A and B are shown apart, each in its own frame.
Chain A
Amino acid sequence: QKEVEQNSGPLSVPEGAIASLNCTYSDRGSQSFFWYRQYSGKSPELIMFIYSNGDKEDGRFTAQLNKASQYVSLLIRDSQPSDSATYLCAVSQTSYDKVIFGPGTSLSVIP
Chain B
Amino acid sequence: NAGVMQNPRHLVRRRGQEARLRCSPMKGHSHVYWYRQLPEEGLKFMVYLQKENIIDESGMPKERFSAEFPKEGPSILRIQQVVRGDSAAYFCASSFPGGLNNEQFFGPGTRLTVL
Contacts and interface: CB of A to CB of B under 8 A. Distances in A.
Interface residues of B, number: 26
A102 B103 contact: no
Contact of A102 (B42, B48, B100): B42
Main SS of the interface on chain A? loop
Question: What is the interface residue range for chain A against chain B?
Answer: 20 to 34
A31 B100 contact: yes
Interface of B: 33, 35, 41-45, 48, 55-56, 58-59, 91, 97-109
Contacts, number: 59
Give the dominant DSSP class at B's interface.
Answer: loop
Interface of A: 31-32, 34, 36, 42-46, 49, 51, 88, 92, 94-104
A43 B48 contact: no
B106 to A, nearest CB: 4
A5 to B, nearest CB: 11
Contacts of A95: 97-102
Contact of B45 (A45, A46, A98, A104): A98
A42 B91 CA distance: 10
